[in-house]
Structures are given as structure tokens and as C-alpha cells.
Structure 1
């Protein structure tokens, strides 16, 4: 239901700066993720994303190859469907600490119910905060295991 309704743009700039840049688009663009101090993702309406890239291409803004706007109000269109689909989840506590990029802290995995996963898709990703917190705790080795290694550079 979200396919074709929006887009996402990677921007090599800080959160405050990008926040100022997107202001002219009002609610058509939002901060979708802060992956590092100078690595922000903007998402929203497809046309607004295209205009944003055109306006800030010289600053490094580039489209991400998706046609939906995760981590924005666009996701509210599938809230009821996700609620139904995830209603049967019965999360349990795990033995390995789970660092939530939604909460930017360790979360007991018993809390990862359908509402959590909806919020995870609707609200901005706080990956940069999690990595900074892990570094502050003394962690020094990070491995990206996703099929699309977009976060390795952010780390």
C-alpha cells in the first residue's frame, strides 16, 4: 500500500542543517533517520523528494532506490493493517542485549510487540545515537549483516 507514494533521500549533512533545508516543504518531507552526525535520511512525498534532491544535489543529496517514505506520516496508511498482521506476536526476553534504533537504548525484547514494530516503521531511526552509545560503552568492532550494506559508512 505504500509503494509508489513517496521516496527517501540520503543527505551527508547534520540534523539541524537538514531540518532547516526541509522546512520549505512543510509536512511533505520529514527526517526519517539520523545514521551518523553527518548522515541524515529525508523521506516524504515523491515530488518533494525530487525537488529536494534538485535543490541540494551540490550538497550531496541523492535519492535512495525506494518508492515509499518509511519513518514518516506516510506509514500511518498501513497502521491498521500492521496492527492486524502483528497482533499475534508474543515477544519474550532475550539473553543478548537489544539496542533499539527506535528508542536509542537497550530494550527488553519482551517489549517488541506489534505496536513497537509499527512505531519502528513510523518514527525516525536513531541509528547514530545507538552507535555513539555503543562506542561510549567501549565497543570498538561493528559488523553490518544486512543484505544492503548502507550503514557501514555511517558506523
Structure 2
């Protein structure tokens, strides 16, 4: 069983993260993962890049709490969260959330839960680089609504 988080400036390899999730595991019948990337449009703004900041120490604790909440709700075998910080460019990977379980419904629900709470609870601050200058991104109502359903 492996439950881990990483906050890093360096990019991650999705294939390596997948392999890490299932390493030495013969019980998991379901693997679900999500990869978030920097996109060129957000709220009608053309985006050329992002800068992500976090609160070291606190961010890790919050992510561990979110992970523990998911473990308490679903029958998970493993889970992994990787979140990047620093300067990111268009199409760069930002976040990896992956889970394994014996059953797909547990894996799908837990992965969605982790992303919803990561978006609303984890102390990350995102600044978009746009043609009009730098813009700090506020929390979206749709993200709040998504986390409230849990």
C-alpha cells in the first residue's frame, strides 16, 4: 500500500507515476488518474503561462489530510498526488492525482474527491500570465460547488 504526495518544481512523468501506483500490486482492479495542464484560455483571458506558489509545510499537511479523508471514505489500495509549483508554460503538466482500488467506483469517486478538495482546500496560489499582465486567480464557484457535494 502506498499513499504519497509530492510538491515539486520539476515536471513529472505520467508513465512513471502510473507504474509507481501499481508497483508490486496484484489486487487493484481499477486505476484512475487525472493530469491537469496549463491551458491557453481561462475565463475569457488568453493565458501564456502560470506561476504557482504554495505555503511549504502547511500545503503538505493539507494534502495529507485530504488523502486521509479519501482513504476513510473509499476502499483504496494506493493514491498519489503530485503538484507542481513555480513558473509553468502552456501545455505544461500541473497536477497528477492517481488512485487504485479493487473496484472502479471507489477509484473514480476517490480521484474526483481528491481533485475537488485539492482545488478548494490546498493552499496553492495561481497567477496567470496574460496579455493584459499578471492576474491572481480566485477560487471558482464551480469548484466550491463540486467539493460541497461530498
What TM-score do the two structures reach when normalised by structure 1? 0.25
> Bigger radius of gyration, 1 or 2?
1
Q: Name the structure with the higher strand share.
A: 2
What TM-score do the two structures reach when normalised by structure 2? 0.26
The structure whose RCO (Cα within 8 Å, separation 6+) is larger is: 2
